[in-house]
Structure 1
Amino acid sequence: MMREKRRENLCVTVPTLFRCPISMDVMKSPVSLCTGVTYDRSSIEKWLSLGHNTCPATMQTLLSAHTTPNLNLRRLIHLWLSHPDSSPAPPSTSKRQIREVVKGAVNCDSLSKIVDFMKASEENLKFIAFSDDAVSKYVEFFGNCKEIEVCELIVELLDMILSENGAKERLNSLILKSGKDCLSSFLSVLREGSVKSKIKSARILESIAVDSESQRKIAEKEGILYGLYSLIAMEKDRLAIQAGLTALLAISTSRPVRKELILFGIVKTVGEILSSFDFSITVRAVIEKALGILETVATCTEGREAISEDEKCVVEIVKRLMKCSNVATEHGITVIWSVCCLSRDPTAQEKVTKVNGLTKVLLVMQSDCSAGTRQMCRELVKVLKSYGQVW
């Protein structure tokens, strides 16, 4: 039964749209999940902090726990709160008006109108996403943009259309194959933008790294690799770290890129991440990506040496086995196998043995793991048993 709000003895019906699906109260700070459902920020943050990884209304598994402020809805709620006895009949921007905005000058005001229009409904978002004039114009402007506020708004716009069919391929072509220097603008956002804008930039770069040529172009742009690395090394926000790790995984497909990451200190940074994050489901994606990066750098000699020598890395990997997810465990086994069996590094073997790694490996071998992981476990058991007898 719909709740009612009383003000000065007048019974006022609260529009369903304004209620948080969790608390059923009028939303103070409406934010939207990747599923498109909007909640009050305090309610959804509490839900996520309890370890849930689903959308409460749809029970869909969340691909990302990132929330986007629903500015249009917030304005409508504020308008209604000012005049609760009147029906909310907010002025909406028409498609004809938006076409005129697109044709006009590109600045913070016009871009804000476009972004608000897109946030208002799925139909509006698709209208912009499939508009060749709008997307190509803003990407072209982005390639020559020097104003960080404008760059951030264009990044927000591009991030919003990523989920639409064909958007990744289209943005790949517009950003990387058009001759425009969009990567410099992404670099500016990674250096000077807000944390949210940095996250969105990383997400776009990861999404357009669709093939080896794209990965190479992004990785070879001076400063981009370090900008993404800085997200995981300098930011404390979980979503920023996850976005940085995901983007680095997408473009770290060549040996030179991996060696550069090793020189940045990727192994030490990931070791710190593994030791500082808990075992809750909300950080599962971070742990999986962190171990995935270690598996990637462990394919080269320099990476295996750095992993063996790091104070925390090997120990934290062993602790994570069977604690996070099957994906994380298989990444972890591959890294341990690389340093203990492939490199036969006695330092790594000692660290694994000291934290009861042999028992952990035996447990993994008996679990529902892949055939390749099980074979690596067998080899690890032999090596660790031999080391244990000598030790």
Structure 2
Amino acid sequence: MRRDETEPYITVPTFFKCPISLDVMKSPVSLCTGVTYDRASIQRWLDGGNNTCPATMQILRTKEFIPNLTLQRLIKSWSDSIGRYSTASPVTSLTIPTVEEVNKSLMKLTLEKDDETRLENLSRIVKDSDANREFLSARKDLITMLVDIISTRKKMKLVFLAVRILYNVTKRGSDGDLKRLSNLILSNGGDHCLTVILLAVQRGNLESKIESVRVLEIIASSLDTQSKVLIAERDEILTEMIKSISKESDPSLIEASLSFLITIAKPKRVRSKLIAAKTIAKIGEILVTEEMTSVAVSEKALKLLETLSSKREGRSEICGGRCVEGVVRKLLKVSMTATEHAVTILWCLCCVFREDERVVETVETVERSNGVSKLLVVIQSNCSPLVRQMAKDVIKVLKVKSSASGLVAYETRTTHIMPF
């Protein structure tokens, strides 16, 4: 039986949902990593032989969990309030307008006099819950309308609001929806639209900056190689993104900017531009600044560094700065994903691409940073067999580092499909 289109959605606070099942938690419990799950879901995960935290992929020191009584009380209080609202009058903050009301709001967007109010209302709606976003993203004319607002750029506040709505309704869209958005942007004065979104990155508050960068990533993710190069050829965009990954920036903005750079970095020409723009030095600063690197930032910084290591000039930059020290620091300290990226980078430098004389410096840095001990642990970890073999290869190189000729003489038998 289909749900009535006028039936209101109930907004579920995100932190009430189990990260595994995505349902409201009935019995929330916290692991030693601090992440909370529903007891039944995490128990199934652990019973399946896993010894990592599903959200962070950190290896668990202990598989015991602690009931999160505070969160359980909050969920019960919220659940009781929902029960009261279901028998009383509707509450605006917990419901989405009917189809008729949304249609009226969308129609009024065409009236310049009330654009700002209507966009603010839609912004609150799409940000409220996944159900609301899905509800509005089904409106095929909404994305067209938002792109028109961005391209006409009546005033920056409208652009900020349009970008926010656009991000929220497309961030989980299908490939077809994302392709349609990219085509709309590029066909509707594409160069101008990108300029306006870049202005939103430069002039907006932190939230607007992040949303604008995410929209650029969504646009780039569904483009072909040639179109990615066209975006990267806009020096202002690359300059702003590289500026945003400074250690002085907010971690959320750094993460969004790194994601965008990873998305466009597949073409060789783009990688060369990123290396020439000293992106690797910025990544090195991030990796060695412990107090501001979240799990997501560390993973993405290492992923981008791994991609840039495919170019000879990139490897030379990595060997010459503080990147190697930062890479070794992240081994086994962040997550399984970060560890695998870190091992791959070291393997590329020491075993496969060892034509640069600076590789000797790399080997010395790995040893000085206690890298050998960490690599030995990696070999015994739950990393993929390929990554464990790469760790063994790096250790062999470290053992024969007495001379540059020793490095040249070492031949790895590891077969690895590079991610670039």
- TM-score bracket relative to the smaller structure: 0.7 to 0.9
SS at 1:223 equivalent: helix
AA aligned opposite 1:251: I
What residue number does 2:318 align with? 307
State the TM-score, normalized to the length of structure 1.
0.73
Q: What corresponds to 1:68 in structure 2? A: none
2:73 corresponds to: none
RMSD: 4.0
Letter matched to residue 102 of structure 1: L
**How many Å separate the matches in 2 of 1:226 and 1:255?**
18
What is the CA distance between 1:248 and its match in structure 2? 0.7
**Aligned to 1:374, which of 388, 391, 405?**
388
Shift of 1:109: 2.0
Identity, % of aligned positions: 30
Partners in 1 of 2:377 and 2:141 — Cα distance?
57
Residue aligned with 2:180, SS: helix
1:99 aligned onto 2:113: no
Q: Helix, strand or coil: the match of 1:236?
A: coil
**Could you say if the C-alpha distance between residues 348 and 117 of structure 1 is closer, same or farther in structure 2, counting changes exceeding 3 Å?**
closer
Q: Which structure 2 residues correspond to residues 84-163 of structure 1 after superposition, within 5 A?
A: 89-90=90-91, 93-103=97-107, 104-106=110-112, 107-119=115-127, 124-145=132-153, 147-162=155-170, 163=172
4+ runs deviating over 6 angstroms: 17-23, 35-38, 53-56, 58-63
Equivalent in the alignment of 1:77: none
Report the CA distance shift for 1:161/1:260 in structure 2 as closer, same or farther (over 3 A): same
- Tell me the CA shift for residue 88 of structure 1: 5.7
* 1:202 matches 2:213: yes
**SS of residue matched to 1:143:** helix
User: CA-to-partner distance for each residue in 1:201-229, whole Å, 9 max, x for gaps?
Assistant: 22222223224244223222341122222
How many angstroms does 1:287 deviate by? 0.9
Q: Is residue 273 of structure 1 aligned with residue 286 of structure 2?
A: yes
Q: CA deviation at 1:336?
A: 1.5
Alpha-carbon distance in structure 1 between the residues aligned to 2:130 and 2:394:
51
CA pair 376-94 structure 1, distance change in 2 beyond 3 A: closer
- Could you tell me how far 1:51 is from its partner in structure 2? 4.2
What residue identity is the alignment partner of 1:369?
Answer: C
Is residue 252–residue 258 contact of structure 1 (8 Å, CA) maintained in 2? yes
Instruction: Give the alignment of 1:1-150 within 5 angstroms.
Output: 51-52=34-35, 89-90=90-91, 93-103=97-107, 104-106=110-112, 107-119=115-127, 124-145=132-153, 147-150=155-158
State how far apart, in whole Å, the 2-side matches of 1:385 and 1:296 are: 27
Distance 1:216 1:53 in 2: 42
2:371 matched to 1:360?
no
Structure 2 CA distance for aligned equivalents of residues 383 and 299 of structure 1? 19
SS in 1 for 2:294: helix
What residue number does 1:215 align with?
228
Once the two structures are TM-superposed, the CA of residue 170 in structure 1 deviates from its matched residue by 2.6
Matched-pair contact (CA < 8 Å) for 1:155–1:200: yes
Tell me, in whole angstroms, the C-alpha distance in 2 between the residues paired with 1:222 and 1:369: 38
Find 1:259's aligned residue among 272, 279, 282.
272
Q: 1:109 to 1:18 in 2, by over 3 A?
A: closer
SS at match of 1:369: coil
Deviation, structure 1 residue 235? 4.9
Query: Structure 2 vs 1, CA of residues 353 and 227 (structure 1 numbering), >3 Å: closer, same or farther?
Result: same
**Are the counterparts in 2 of residues 353 and 388 from structure 1 also a CA contact under 8 Å?**
no
Other-structure match for 2:410 = none
Listed as ranges, the matches of 1:228-247 within 5 Å are: 228-233=241-246, 235-247=248-260
Determine the structure 1 residue equivalent to 2:197: 186
**Alpha-carbon shift at residue 241 of structure 1 (Å):** 1.1
What is the aligned counterpart of 1:170 among 159, 173, 180?
A: 180
Structure 1 position 351 matched with structure 2 position 365: yes
2:185 partner letter: I
Partners of 2:159 and 2:262 in 1: how far apart? 24
Change beyond 3 A, Cα 1:293–1:346: same
Following superposition, the deviation at residue 259 of structure 1 comes to 2.4
Change (3 A) 1:174 1:367: same
Which deviations, in whole Å up to 9, do the C-alpha atoms of 1:266-318 show, x marking residues without a partner?
22211221122359xx92121111111111111111111111111x2111211
* Structure 1 contact 320–329 (Cα < 8 Å) conserved: yes
The 1:99–1:322 alpha-carbon spacing in structure 2 relative to 1, beyond 3 Å, is same
Is the 8 Å Cα contact of residues 149 and 158 (structure 2) preserved in structure 1?
no
TM-score of the two chains, using structure 2 as the length reference: 0.68
- Partner deviation per Cα, 1:62-100 (whole Å, 9 max, x = no partner): 79xxxxxxxxxxxxxxxx9xxxxxx66556755434323
Given that residues 115 and 157 in structure 1 are in contact (C-alpha distance below 8 angstroms), is that contact kept between their aligned partners in structure 2?
A: yes
1:383–1:156: structure 2 CA closer, same or farther, 3 Å change rule? same
1:330-378: per-residue Cα shift (whole Å, max 9, x none)?
2111211222232252111111122222232232233333343234323
Q: Unaligned stretches of 5+ in structure 1?
A: 1-16, 24-32, 39-46, 64-79, 81-86
Stretches of structure 2 that go unaligned for 5 or more consecutive residues are: 1-9, 25-29, 46-53, 57-80, 82-87, 407-420
Paired position in structure 2 for 1:385: 399
Is the contact made by 1:143 and 1:184 (CA closer than 8 Å) also made in structure 2?
A: no
Q: Do the aligned partners of 2:160 and 2:208 also contact (CA within 8 Å) in 1?
A: yes
Q: Aligned equivalents of 2:130 and 2:376: distance in 1?
A: 50
The alpha-carbon deviation at position 387 of structure 1 amounts to 1.6
